[in-house]
């Protein structure tokens, strides 16, 4: 039986590679486009070890329209595109805003041009809760007004959604923007997870790398913020739950009339940075070396989601709790060290 084909941009990245696994397990064929500028080819090996499938990856720069078009032209009858490929570091975007504007906008426009040219009907856009900026009321729903983005990265997601929302109806395409809160954890096998090429910016890989001594000391950015313990509050979601939502979004569009939607992906529960650290210490038995530092430019103080729309539209509810998130991330870190994958 013919399997529907999905093109995943950034398919070797953190969320992209886990979504590839979920798509494969739900009867899709997958082609990845990833030039490894922010990922490693090892992700292809991890996907194969877990699924038994060696997916095709085209290592091209999506900012080059001609070569991007050449890839798309190789495939007919594409069920949909899931667009992950983007730079995503908040601190780096503050330091190098033009790099982020060029890469994240140009790659998205090129992909949408190829979708239009090839008459592909469905697109899922990887967005972020960072679009909300500092908010006045919690939890955050899809109707919460967007405030001024706190970083150039966040602004690329605000504008990216607008680009998708303008292009989709103009070209007869269904589109779903998925606003992730904080994806963490790793595949339950421990054989695929987040692969930060440089020193990570995200909390959980910093925690696990501190636990094994790769990072000497973890800095908690802010200790006297207006939260229950003075540290930032985030809504953490297991990466496989995030991945599942992409499959569900694609399936919804494939079996619906044309739609354009924006959906939050969060657990609905806020967790402080210090609570996350304590959860990791409890399950791993490792005491982390950490200090309280000044708040970081571009970070919001507190944010967590209202997940009702995802439940109602996608029938999506996160299955993993914080202990599972930290446990799988720790299992992945140990697998990395045992196999010397990042040494």
pLDDT tens, per residue, the chain with 343 residues: 689 999 999 999 999 999 999 999 999 999 999 999 989 899 999 999 999 999 999 999 999 999 999 999 999 999 999 999 999 988 899 999 999 999 999 999 999 999 999 999 999 999 999 999 888 889 999 999 999 998 999 999 999 999 999 999 999 999 999 999 999 999 999 999 998 777 787 899 999 999 999 999 999 999 999 999 999 999 999 999 999 999 999 999 999 999 999 999 999 999 999 999 999 999 999 999 999 999 987 778 888 999 999 999 999 999 999 999 999 999 999 999 998 765 5
- Is residue 225 in some structural domain? no
What pTM, to 2 d.p., does this model score? 0.95
CATH number at residue 171: 3.40.50.720
Tens-place pLDDT, residues 90-139: 889 999 999 999 999 999 999 999 999 999 999 999 999 999 988 888 99
Residue 331 has what pLDDT? 97
Q: Which domain holds residue 75?
A: 5-185+236-268+304-319
Is 333 a member of any domain?
no
Instruction: Give a yes or no: residue 158 inside a domain.
Output: yes
Determine contact, residues 65/26, Cβ cutoff 8 Å.
no
Residue 195 resides in a domain: no
CA distance 152 to 155: 5
Q: Which of 14, 100, 132, 153 is catalytic?
A: 153
**What is the model's pLDDT at position 286?**
97
Q: Do strands 56-58 and 29-33 pair parallel, antiparallel, or not at all (unpaired)?
A: parallel
Give the Cα separation of 264 and 305 in Å (integer). 7
Nearest to 69 by CA among 109, 27, 19, 18: 109
Mean of the per-residue pLDDT values of the chain: 95
Q: Is residue 58 part of a domain?
A: yes
142 lies in some domain: yes
Bridge partners (DSSP) of residue 221 are 293
Predicted local distance difference test score (pLDDT) of residue 1: 67
Beta strand pairing call for 182-184 and 271-272: unpaired
101 a catalytic residue: no
Is 104 a domain residue?
yes
**Domain count across the chain:** 1
Tens digit of pLDDT for each residue in 239-250? 999 999 999 999
CB 328 within 8 A of CB 319: no
How distant, in Å, are the alpha carbons of 21, 25, 103, 175 from that of 240? 9, 12, 26, 21
Predicted confidence at residue 342, as pLDDT, reads 59
Residue 308 lies in a domain: yes
């Amino acid at each position: 039986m013919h399997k529907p084909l999905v093109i995943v941009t950034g398919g070797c990245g953190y969320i992209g590679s886990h979504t590839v696994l979920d798509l494969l397990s739900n009867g899709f064929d997958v082609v990845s486009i990833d030039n490894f500028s922010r990922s490693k080819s090892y992700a292809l090996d991890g996907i194969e070890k877990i699924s038994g499938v060696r997916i095709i990856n085209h290592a091209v720069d999506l900012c080059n329209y001609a070569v991007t078009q050449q890839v798309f032209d190789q495939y007919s009858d594409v069920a949909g595109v899931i667009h992950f490929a983007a730079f995503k570091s908040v601190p780096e975007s503050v330091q190098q805003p033009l790099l982020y504007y060029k890469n994240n906008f140009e790659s998205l426009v090129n992909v949408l041009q190829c979708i239009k040219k090839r008459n592909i009907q469905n697109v899922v856009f990887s967005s972020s809760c960072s679009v909300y900026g500092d908010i006045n009321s919690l939890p955050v729903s899809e109707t919460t007004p967007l405030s001024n983005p706190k970083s150039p990265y966040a602004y690329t997601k605000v504008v990216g959604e607008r680009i998708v929302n303008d292009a989709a109806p103009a070209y007869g395409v269904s589109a779903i923007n998925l606003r992730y809160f904080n994806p963490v954890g790793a595949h339950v096998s421990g054989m695929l997870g987040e692969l930060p090429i440089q020193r990570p910016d995200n909390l959980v890989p910093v925690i696990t790398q501190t636990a094994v001594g790769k990072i000497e000391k973890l800095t908690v950015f802010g200790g006297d913020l207006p939260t229950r313990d003075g540290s930032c509050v985030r809504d953490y979601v297991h990466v496989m739950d995030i991945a599942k939502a992409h499959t569900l979004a694609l399936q919804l569009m494939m079996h619906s009339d044309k739609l354009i939607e924006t959906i939050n992906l969060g657990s609905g529960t806020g967790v402080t940075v210090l609570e996350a650290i304590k959860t990791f210490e409890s399950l791993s038995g490792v005491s982390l070396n950490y200090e309280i530092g000044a708040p970081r430019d571009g970070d919001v103080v507190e944010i967590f989601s209202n997940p009702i729309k995802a439940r109602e539209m996608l029938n999506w509810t996160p299955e993993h709790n914080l202990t599972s998130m930290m446990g799988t991330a720790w299992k992945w870190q140990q697998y990395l060290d045992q196999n010397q994958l990042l040494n």
